[in-house]
Amino acid sequence: MKKNDFESAARLIKNAKHLTAFTGAGISAESGIPTFRGKEGIWNKYDPIILDIDYFKSNPEKAYPLIKEMFYEIIDKAQPNKAHKILGQWEREGILKAIITQNIDNLHQKAGNKNVIEFHGNTRDLVCMNCGEKFSVNSIDFEQNPVICPKCGGLLKPDFVFFGEPIPADAYKQSVFHTLASDVYLVIGTTGIIMPASLLPYEAKKNGAKIIEINTEPSEYTEKITDIFLQGKATEILDKLNNLNSLIGY
């Protein structure tokens, strides 16, 4: 593993045939959305049981106010940061083929990326646990507690993946496709411990992709599979890579 070799990383990115980015909560930290773990992490303030599907089903009126506070109030106000924007630019320039994100904050789409695979769903929609109908959060009285389906009166659940729920089938299929198609895999701001998402970079590596990792701290991947580890904040590292990318010719 090479550390902070920006020139090699920029060359790999520029010359990649199929570059995929795999992102976690760390890329949105500088947009003001706390990560799960770490000093400022969500789990220092909230009990993870709130996001357990069985707990949610049995105690929706207890879970909802905390989920709204944890995610919706913060995510509503958050704007994409420089790291999101550079990934948006790279997709427009044809450098980046897809983003597989574990995040549920919509910031990649707000930054202009079109090919975003939401491995853990999103906060934009609510799904009825009774009739299966989906509603945009904006079209529903979100002040209710719990939030109820206007069609059948069933319980509406935020359309992100709770602990104990399966990964959406289409997102899983698309993620595997891009992971196996990649010759360069950019892993940004993730601890690498949430299964099964965390397995994807290992599959990319097994299939011959070079792994470039950006994180403020070493992760589960760093010593095991990372080829180039760029240590620092996602905004600063991507900015540096982007500047090098425009300097390095083909």
- Residues involved in catalysis: 120
Cβ distance to ligand NAD smaller for residue 41 or 112: 41
Longest distance between any two alpha carbons in the chain, whole Å: 59
CB of 15 to ligand NAD, least distance (A): 24
**Given the structure tokens 């892993």, which residue do they identify?**
187
CB of 192 to ligand NAD, least distance (A): 7
Cβ distance to ligand NAD smaller for residue 91 or 105: 105
Whether the bond into 166 is cis, omega within 30 of 0: no
CB of 177 to ligand NAD, least distance (A): 20
Contacts to ligand NAD by CB under 6 A: 24-26, 28-30, 33, 35-38, 41-42, 102-105, 120, 189-191, 194, 214-217, 219, 233-234
Residue 246 contacts residue 236 (beta carbons within 8 Å): no
| Other beta carbons within 10 Å of 130 | 13
| Other beta carbons within 10 Å of 168 | 19
Cβ distance to ligand NAD smaller for residue 148 or 228: 228
d(C-alpha 140, C-alpha 250), whole Å: 50
Cβ distance to ligand NAD smaller for residue 102 or 182: 102
CB of 154 to ligand NAD, least distance (A): 25
Q: Hey, which bits of 171-217 come out as E strands?
A: 184-188, 210-215
CB of 195 to ligand NAD, least distance (A): 10
d(C-alpha 191, C-alpha 188), whole Å: 9
Cβ distance to ligand NAD smaller for residue 108 or 205: 108
**Given the structure tokens 């930290």, which residue do they identify?**
29
Which residues neighbour 137 within 8 Å (Cβ) at sequence distance 6 or greater?
A: 72, 123, 124, 125, 126
